[in-house]
């Protein structure tokens, strides 16, 4: 029974012990495991505080200075601050910070530039592309004529010859570049040349690599692509949200597509947290963090290869590794499950030209953003690779998996998880 509490000041632990306990358990899990989900991270306490603020109470349809509601003084300043900081971090002419997440941001790009039934191109999902780049189960594959491109058979790199051939043949209105499970650098300039040749809008989706771009360890598409979309919660390490960066000439088309095209009121607490994250991204420590992500991915890849793992494309340029488990004689799904039991969290993932089914594919995807945020380095990557090899050889040995989970927990205690007070 909850007590009378007209001021709503009773702490969560007392109002709802059930939800409170689940969040506490999640905090413990995130603290005590090695998290290798390539899209995940640890937001700072500052970002979490802004996210959990009274800004969640506000409605503010419109943009700073042009709202449909009164009482916007603070909200306008917060959104201006978020936009200004994001412009500085990425060197963009215009920024919209209102999209609810990466997928709605991408829908805004469609709404701004393409009509239903028109042709678009993007990297196919099985090759490492995102659902929203025109894959058939997504609205973007149903409402538009989607022509997916892929990676080469031999080296699993994006096949720019195929991109050019398909673009010449199909004359798309919009070309997406950007990936969700691809371990190599994106050649934005090469995409620009092709887009120019066929008169297409070039959209770069840097959802995964925004933090790497901000930290200067991946080339930036700003000034090359017409429009750039990003999530704010992956390598960028902010709240769950998104931003669209574009040239001034596209500013009003993008803004109108987000509101009133797709959304109502923006999530102002998220906007404030984006401002905080963009402030953090301007600190010298963010550059170090970004460099550590890439250094760790290379170190983890090299250590895994030395233990007989097969890396798609033979390595990585960014924050992630795609591992073909075939030589280890185990599917990606049972392997990811065994890793989880051992305190190492990753996701099973299809590999290019995967002979197995999407729900039971050959690979796992590993990312280093979260462990880089904890401050782990190459020495820790060696230990993680050794555990991963042991799990691959003994996926059913529960006693062994539990022993490893204990060792993982011990390692994690030496590298406290940012943002979590245990
Ligand atoms: C994660 C991701 C998205 C979607 O982001 P959500 O916030 O999950 O909707 C879009 N594009 C790419 C390339 C992504 O990796």
> pLDDT digit string (tens) for 103-154?
999 999 999 999 999 999 999 999 999 999 999 999 999 999 999 999 999 9
Q: What's residue 5's pLDDT?
A: 87
Average pLDDT over residues 151-166: 98
Question: What is the per-residue pLDDT across 220-237, written as a single tens digit (0 to 9) for each?
Answer: 999 999 999 999 999 999
Kindly give the number of the ligand 1 atom that is closest to the alpha carbon of 39.
1
Residues 78 and 146 placed together within one structural domain of the fold: yes
Q: Which residues pair with 367 in a beta bridge?
A: 320
Q: Which residues contact 72 (CB under 8 A, 6 or more apart)?
A: 60, 64
pLDDT at 60 over 60: yes
The CATH number covering residue 247 comes to 3.40.640.10
Q: Which of 281, 307, 326 is the last residue of a domain?
A: 281
Last residue of a domain, one of 226, 260, 281: 281
Sheet of strand 310-311, all strands in order from the earlier edge strand to the far edge:
310-311, 320-324, 363-367, 347-349
Q: Do 336 and 360 fall within a single domain?
A: yes
For residue 19, is it within any domain? Answer: no
Q: How confident is the model at residue 42 (pLDDT cuts 50, 70, 90)?
A: very high
**2 lies in some domain:** no
Q: Which residue of 180, 206, 274 sits with most ligand 1 atoms within 8 Å of its CB, as the best mutation to test the pocket?
A: 180
How many angstroms separate the alpha carbon of residue 204 from the centre of ligand 1? 12
Report, as an integer, the average pLDDT of 383-400: 98
pLDDT (mean) for 348-376: 97
* Ligand 1 neighbours by CB, cut-off 6 Å: 39, 101-103, 106, 130, 132, 178-180, 205, 207-208, 231
**Ligand 1 centroid, distance to 207 Cα (angstroms):** 6
The total domain count for the chain is 2
| CA-closest residue to ligand 1 atom 12 | 207
Q: Whose CA is nearest to atom 2 of ligand 1?
A: 207
Same-domain check for residues 276 and 289: no
- Kindly state whether residues 217 and 318 are assigned to the same domain: no
Same domain flag for 331 and 276: no
Phi, psi of 333, deg, nearest 5: -70, -55
Q: Is the pLDDT of residue 192 over 60?
A: yes
> What is the 8-class DSSP label of residue 8?
-
Residue 319 lies in a domain: yes
Q: Write the pLDDT tens digit of every residue in 306-315.
A: 999 999 999 9
Residue 73 in any domain: the answer is yes
Tokens 């209105």 belong to 173
Do both 199 and 58 map to the same domain?
yes
Of the residues 254, 281, 308, which one is the last residue of a structural domain?
A: 281
Region 70-95 average pLDDT: 98
Predicted TM-score (pTM) of the model is: 0.97
Statement to judge: residues 168 and 298 lie in one domain: no
CA of 229 from ligand 1 middle (Å) equals 9
Query: What integer pLDDT is reported at residue 422 of this predicted model?
Result: 86
For ligand 1, the distance from its centroid to the CA atom of residue 107, given in whole angstroms, is: 11
210 in the same domain as 173: yes
Q: Write the DSSP assignment of 356-417 as a string of letters.
A: S-TTS-SEEEEE-HHHHHTT--HHHHHHHHHHHHHHHH-TT-HHHHHHHHHHHHHHHHTSPP
Q: Which residues are catalytic?
A: 59, 61, 205, 231, 234, 240
> How many whole angstroms separate alpha carbon 385 and alpha carbon 380?
9
- Structural domain includes residue 269: yes
pLDDT range class, residue 2, cuts 50, 70, 90: low
What's the mean pLDDT in 76-105? 98
Q: What is the pLDDT of residue 3?
A: 66
Both 321 and 199 in a single domain? no
Which CATH number does the domain housing residue 305 bear? 3.90.1150.10
Which structural domain range is residue 195 located in?
51-281
**410 pLDDT above the threshold of 70:** yes
Q: Does residue 128 lie within any of the structural domains?
A: yes
| 329 in the same domain as 200 | no
Can you tell me the mean pLDDT for 56-75?
A: 97
Which residue out of 40, 132, 240 has the highest number of ligand 1 atoms within 8 Å of its CB and is therefore the one to mutate? 132
Burial of 397 by CB count in 10 Å (0-12 exposed, 13-18 middle, 19+ buried)? middle
> Which residue has the CA at smallest separation from atom 4 of ligand 1?
102
pLDDT tens digits, one per residue of 253-278: 999 999 999 999 999 999 999 999 99
Is position 40 within any domain? Answer: no
Structure tokens at 87: 């412009």
Same domain assignment for residues 294 and 266: no
Same domain, 84 and 166: yes
**Per-residue pLDDT at 92 exceeds 90:** yes
For residue 169, how far is its CA from the centre of ligand 1 (angstroms)?
Answer: 28
Q: What's the rounded Cα separation, in Å, for the pair 337 and 350? A: 15
% residues pLDDT > 70 (the chain): 99
In-domain check, residue 76: yes
Pocket test for ligand 1, best of 43, 181, 211, 231 (most atoms within 8 A of CB): 231
């Amino acid at each position: 029974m909850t007590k009378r509490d007209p001021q709503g000041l009773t702490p969560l632990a007392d109002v709802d012990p059930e939800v409170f306990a689940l969040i506490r358990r999640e905090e413990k899990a995130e603290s005590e495991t090695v998290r290798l989900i390539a899209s995940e991270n640890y937001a700072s306490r500052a970002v979490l505080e802004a996210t959990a603020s009274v800004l969640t109470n506000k409605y503010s349809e419109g943009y700073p200075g042009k709202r449909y509601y009164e009482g916007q003084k603070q909200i306008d300043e917060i959104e201006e601050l978020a936009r200004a900081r994001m412009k500085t971090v990425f060197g963009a002419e215009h920024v919209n910070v209102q999209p609810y997440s990466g997928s709605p941001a991408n829908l805004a790009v469609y709404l701004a530039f393409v009509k239903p039934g028109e042709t678009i191109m993007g990297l196919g999902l099985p090759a490492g592309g995102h659902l929203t780049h025109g894959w058939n189960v997504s609205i973007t594959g149903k409402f538009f004529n989607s022509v997916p491109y892929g990676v080469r058979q031999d080296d699993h790199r994006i096949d720019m010859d195929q991109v050019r051939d398909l673009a010449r043949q199909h004359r798309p209105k919009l070309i997406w570049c950007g990936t969700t499970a691809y371990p190599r650098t994106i050649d934005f300039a090469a995409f620009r040349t092709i887009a120019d040749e066929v008169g297409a809008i070039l959209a770069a989706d840097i959802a995964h690599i925004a933090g790497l771009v901000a930290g200067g360890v991946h080339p930036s598409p700003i000034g090359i692509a017409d429009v750039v979309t990003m999530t704010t919660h992956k390598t960028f390490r902010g709240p769950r949200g998104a931003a669209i960066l574009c040239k001034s000439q596209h500013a009003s088309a993008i803004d109108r597509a987000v509101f009133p095209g797709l959304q109502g009121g923006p999530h102002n607490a998220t906007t404030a947290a984006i401002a905080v994250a963009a402030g953090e991204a301007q600190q010298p420590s963010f550059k170090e963090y970004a460099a550590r992500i890439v250094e760790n991915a290379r170190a983890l890849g090299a250590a895994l290869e030395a233990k007989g793992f097969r890396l798609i494309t033979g390595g990585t340029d960014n924050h992630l590794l795609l591992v073909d488990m075939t030589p280890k004689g185990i599917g990606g799904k049972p392997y990811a499950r065994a890793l989880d039991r051992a305190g190492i969290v990753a996701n099973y993932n299809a590999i290019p030209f995967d002979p197995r089914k999407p729900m039971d594919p050959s690979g796992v995807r590993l990312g280093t953003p979260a462990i880089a945020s904890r401050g782990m380095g190459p020495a820790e990557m060696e230990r993680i690779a050794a555990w991963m090899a042991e799990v691959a050889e003994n996926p059913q040995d529960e006693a062994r998996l539990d022993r490893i989970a204990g060792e993982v927990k011990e390692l994690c205690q030496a590298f406290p998880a940012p943002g979590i007070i245990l």
